[in-house]
Amino acid sequence: MKPSVRWPLLIAGLLTLHAAGMVTFAVIASSDPSHAVEKDYYQKALHWDEHRAQLAADAALGWQAEATARPAQPGLAAVTIALTDHDGQPVTGASAHLEAFHMARGKRILESDLEETAPGVYTATLPMRRDGKWELRLRAQRGDDLFTAVLKRYLVVTP
């Protein structure tokens, strides 16, 4: 092969190899389940004032949420949220929704509506497969009262 052809081919080959490597690294980086971008982060930023108002409403409402989890079946865990009002009495008759994700796998968000299983006790069964620190995002509504909470708890969900 003549040098006048060899050097341009070598340069083109190196550039192609570099581009293929960058594409490979981009695919690996974007498929990492531990890396997550907050869903609808731009809309949340635009509605920051409403979020702060909701936090103030939560504080004024005085409700408290406590979360526990226990193994239910292989690969499933029963998550229980106990809701109490400012007097420590159970909050009954609320409709509640839960989003949960393990802190090491923020891209895998589990969602479920909660069912009231006892006065003020709301439960859902989720496919939680790892013990550790979980973030639980609760939204509960009873009549005109809306309560939101973000709970970070260490949960044991495996037998």
Q: Tell me the pLDDT of the chain (159 aa) as tens digits.
A: 787 888 899 999 999 999 999 999 999 888 887 778 888 899 999 999 999 999 999 999 999 999 999 999 888 999 999 999 999 999 999 999 999 999 999 889 999 999 999 999 999 999 999 999 999 999 999 999 999 999 999 999 988
- The pLDDT value given to residue 37: 81
Q: Please report the pLDDT score of residue 5 as a whole number.
A: 87
Topology annotation, domain 41-155 = Immunoglobulin-like (2.60.40)
| N-terminal to C-terminal alpha carbon distance within the chain | 67
Q: Which residue bears the tokens 């040098």?
A: 3
> In this predicted structure, what is the pLDDT of residue 39?
87
In which order are the strands placed within the sheet that holds 121-126? 64-73, 76-84, 121-126, 110-118, 95-102, 132-142, 145-155
